[in-house]
């Protein structure tokens, strides 16, 4: 685990602004690289205490993954940014939020810029979905937190 | 119809010797399923809004009086574990008495708290909620598999100020001596308070199991205590009924650390009884009356033992 350098952080902030219209971002938080483009966020005090401890497995929250300049926000990453997110958002109704949380692809007519779009249901942000060329969105919900698909449906 | 529950010979004999225990009521409690209950996650959303979302799904519930943000479900019309609210971390499904130890610990924003045996994370998420993003939670467990579940639950709950460690809790004071304001030792135990979840526990219980666990618990509580700053507080909890795993562990700490002082526990509406001060002809410190025993039939939920200990000295 390594802290993001000021240059990397600047790049990230620019990408968040370009892709999602985020102005402030994770201002007060420490951002940590934890391999394969994954970024975790935590507080300064947490990081300070971590320097004393042994056997550390994880610090803070997994918030995003960066790949070739594209940013996929985790559910919690998008919830942390909350209404800072202004662009590339898809509003979901009850039927589609159910599909989103089951990681079932969702058909869309809208064109989005970037490879990812962020889901929103009422006031809740639900992380990212990958935008495919065939007009489908593939929600990036990890297997362990998907709503199970009932047998004989979908 | 209620089924038949089988107790091992050793357990039947052990329970028959315990003071203030009604075996018929205990067996009845073991036969009943535990109530479904949950906590609302105020780190993510307003309590009222989450409750409204659940009501719209047809879930009815009532407040658990001893747990902030805790509710018990009154109608089991839907599986809460498969709801959007659970998957998004807006609620955390946790049994009602399991919420007691953290309420006794009473985390305050800004404190540094160690949860020494944290997996799968019910109590860690509860601590994090009460810290409200200020201070630090260190959630430790000895098992790699269980740490994975702990990490998932803390992620889903949205906890920023957490460090997850994988370590034998007994080794913690080597590098974290007098480091924490509060410590929770929710020790591994023989689980006689949650037999209704798994009747096999009562069938296979033996006094040797309790003795073996007691040894580990004694080491864990001393380690947890040594990680406390002077003036800090430790809560020791198990979900079992045996004296070896409960009062005798606290007695051991009082003998090993003279600055360990028991404190009163006061939780509204929770039914419980005082800790045992005499067992098998051995008398313990009278202060052990300040610890609490919750029998499964007291609240028709889990059985628990909880002790609150102050580390004397200037903070």
Chain A residue nearest residue B163, CA to CA = A59
Burial class (CB in 10 A: 0-12, 13-18, 19+), B158: buried
Mean pLDDT of the residues in chain B? 96
How long a stretch of residues is chain A? 154
Report, as an integer, the average pLDDT of B276-303: 97
End-to-end CA distance of chain B: 56
pLDDT on residue A112 = 85
Distance of residue A47 Cα from the nearest chain B Cα, in angstroms: 8
Tell if the CB–CB gap between B159 and A126 is shorter than 8 Å.
no
pLDDT on residue A25 = 84
Report the alpha-carbon angle B143-A61-B153, nearest 5: 45
pLDDT at A44 over 60: yes
pLDDT on residue B226 = 98
Instruction: Tell me the whole-structure pTM to 2 decimals.
Output: 0.96
Q: Which residues of A touch B112 (CB under 8 A)?
A: 49
Give the model's confidence band at A72: pLDDT under 50 very low, under 70 low, under 90 confident, else very high: very high
Q: Does A126 contact B at CB distance below 8 Å? A: yes
Q: Does A97 contact B at CB distance below 8 Å? A: yes
CB atoms within 10 A of CB B77: 10
Question: Among the ranges A26-30, A68-72, B118-122, which has the highest mean pLDDT value?
Answer: B118-122
User: What is the rounded distance in angstroms from the CA atom of residue B187 to the CA atom of residue B198?
Assistant: 19
Do residues B150 and B117 touch, judged by C-beta distance below 8 A? no
Q: Does A108 contact B at CB distance below 8 Å? A: no
Tell if the CB–CB gap between A55 and B159 is shorter than 8 Å.
no
Distance of residue A111 Cα from the nearest chain B Cα, in angstroms: 27
pLDDT on residue B245 = 98
* Nearest by Cα to B65 from B292, B284, B310, B267: B267
Rg (CA), chain A: 16
Q: Which residues of B touch A124 (CB under 8 A)?
A: 45, 88
Tell if the CB–CB gap between B88 and A124 is shorter than 8 Å.
yes
Chain A residue nearest residue B82, CA to CA = A147
Q: Which residues of A touch B48 (CB under 8 A)?
A: none
pLDDT on residue A1 = 79
End-to-end CA distance of chain A: 40
User: What is the rounded distance in angstroms from the CA atom of residue B276 to the CA atom of residue B211?
Assistant: 17
Tell me: the pLDDT tens digits for B122-145? 999 999 999 999 999 999 999 999
Residues 6+ apart with CB under 8 A from B55: none
Report, as an integer, the average pLDDT of B54-83: 94
pLDDT at B2 over 60: no
Residue appearing with tokens 């799904």 = B57
Helix or strand or coil: residue B199?
A: coil
Q: Which two tokens stand for residue A122?
A: 């009422």
Give the model's confidence band at A154: pLDDT under 50 very low, under 70 low, under 90 confident, else very high: very low
Q: Which two tokens stand for residue B164?
A: 């997850």
Give the model's confidence band at A152: pLDDT under 50 very low, under 70 low, under 90 confident, else very high: low
* Cβ-nearest to B163 among A29, A41, A49: A49
* Cβ-nearest to B158 among A76, A101, A121: A76
ipTM reported for the complex, 2 dp: 0.95
How do B37-40 and B91-93 pair as beta strands?
antiparallel
Q: Which of A103-107, A130-134, B213-217, B271-275 has the lowest mean pLDDT?
A: A130-134
Tell if the CB–CB gap between A56 and B84 is shorter than 8 Å.
no
pLDDT on residue B3 = 63
Q: Which residues of A touch B88 (CB under 8 A)?
A: 75, 101, 124, 126
pLDDT at B77 over 90: no
Q: Does A5 contact B at CB distance below 8 Å? A: no
Q: List the catalytic residue out of B117, B189, B239, B274.
A: B239
pLDDT on residue A151 = 67
CB atoms within 10 A of CB B183: 31
pLDDT at B174 over 70: yes
Q: Does A38 contact B at CB distance below 8 Å? A: no
pLDDT on residue A135 = 87
Chain B residue nearest residue A147, CA to CA = B82
Tell if the CB–CB gap between A148 and B82 is shorter than 8 Å.
yes
* Cβ-nearest to A61 among B140, B158, B175: B158
Burial class (CB in 10 A: 0-12, 13-18, 19+), B65: exposed
- Residues of chain B above pLDDT 90, percent: 95
Q: Does A56 contact B at CB distance below 8 Å? A: yes
- Catalytic residue list contains B227: no
Q: Does A10 contact B at CB distance below 8 Å? A: no
- Across chain A, where does the E strand assignment appear? 2-3, 30-33, 38-42, 56-59, 61-67, 70-73, 89-91, 106-107, 116-121, 124-131, 136-139
């Amino acid at each position: 685990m390594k802290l993001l350098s000021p240059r990397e952080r600047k790049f990230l902030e620019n990408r968040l602004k370009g892709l999602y219209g985020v102005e402030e971002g994770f201002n007060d938080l420490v951002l940590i690289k934890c391999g394969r483009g994954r970024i975790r966020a935590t507080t300064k005090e947490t990081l300070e205490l971590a320097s004393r401890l042994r056997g550390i497995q994880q610090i803070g929250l997994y918030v995003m993954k960066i790949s070739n300049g594209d940013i996929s926000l985790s559910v919690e990453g998008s919830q942390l940014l909350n209404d800072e997110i202004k662009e590339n958002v898809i509003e979901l109704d009850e039927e589609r939020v159910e599909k989103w949380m089951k990681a079932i692809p969702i058909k869309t007519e809208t064109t989005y810029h970037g490879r990812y779009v962020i889901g929103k249901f009422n006031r809740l942000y639900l992380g990212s979905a990958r935008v495919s060329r065939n007009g489908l969105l593939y929600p990036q919900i990890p297997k362990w937190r998907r709503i199970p698909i009932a047998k004989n449906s979908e | 119809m209620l089924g038949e529950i089988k107790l091992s010979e050793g357990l039947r004999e052990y329970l028959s010797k315990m003071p203030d225990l009604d075996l018929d009521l205990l067996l009845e409690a073991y036969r009943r399923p535990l109530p479904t209950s949950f906590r609302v996650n105020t780190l993510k959303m307003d309590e009222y809004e989450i409750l409204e979302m659940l009501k719209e799904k047809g879930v009815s519930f009532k407040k658990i009086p001893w747990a902030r943000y805790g509710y018990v479900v009154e109608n089991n019309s839907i599986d809460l574990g498969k709801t959007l609210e659970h998957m998004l971390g807006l609620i955390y499904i946790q049994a009602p008495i399991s919420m007691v130890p953290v309420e006794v610990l009473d985390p305050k924003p800004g404190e540094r708290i160690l949860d020494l045996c944290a997996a799968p994370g019910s109590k860690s998420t509860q601590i994090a909620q009460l810290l409200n993003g200020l201070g630090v939670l260190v959630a430790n467990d000895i098992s790699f598999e269980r740490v994975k579940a702990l990490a998932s639950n803390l992620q889903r709950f949205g906890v920023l100020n957490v460090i997850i460690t994988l370590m034998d809790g007994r080794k913690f004071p080597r590098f974290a001596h007098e480091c924490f304001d509060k410590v929770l030792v929710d020790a591994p135990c023989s689980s006689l308070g949650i037999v209704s979840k798994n009747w096999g526990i009562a069938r296979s219980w033996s006094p040797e199991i309790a003795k073996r666990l007691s040894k580990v618990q004694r080491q864990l509580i001393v380690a947890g205590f040594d990680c406390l700053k002077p003036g800090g507080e430790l809560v020791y909890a198990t979900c079992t009924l045996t004296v070896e795993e409960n009062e005798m562990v606290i007695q051991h700490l009082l003998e090993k650390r003279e600055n360990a002082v028991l404190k009163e526990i006061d939780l509204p509406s929770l039914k419980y009884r005082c800790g045992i001060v005499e067992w098998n002809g051995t008398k313990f410190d009278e202060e052990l009356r300040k610890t609490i025993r919750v029998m499964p039939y007291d609240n028709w939920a889990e059985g628990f033992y909880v002790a609150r200990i102050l580390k004397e000295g200037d903070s």
